[in-house]
Structure 1
């Protein structure tokens, strides 16, 4: 199914106004990112830090309910270790 002609024009115009995100300096790419709307409420959220080779790494643990036997999922967000953040992945993790 092809895109609506107005959508094509919008995409062409907006890509002509700015370079692709991978061509931007990291600070500018971070400033341009848009965070998704908040995710749903969950039973509990805990922020921690794990030791990393270059300093602490933020870790966020979600509990959807107070059940004792729940499966686990480890989510490594994207961003090329440059523009991603724990806040940027929060809504997705809450939905999982």
Structure 2
């Protein structure tokens, strides 16, 4: 995410200066959404930051879901507690 998201974010200049497909992907990743949200809050009083806030909230929600679901998906092998079989 960092190797793709950071160059595609357009933080230094804005996503408008990037090709359309690259800008769209960059704004859907956390670095691009965070840069747009900070820019909109710092220079424009928060105007235009709603979409970025939704994207960052979705990433945070996905992370929390994975955090709670992940440990439950682990495969655990339980030792067999049956009677041992003697070798013949």
Structure with greater proportional helix content: 2
Q: Do the structures match in fold with TM over 0.5?
A: no
Classify the TM-score, shorter chain. under 0.3
Which TM-score applies when normalising by structure 1? 0.19
Normalised to the residue count of structure 2, the TM-score between the two structures is 0.20
Q: Pick 1 or 2: higher relative contact order, CA cutoff 8 A, min separation 6.
A: 1
Select the structure of larger CA radius of gyration: 2
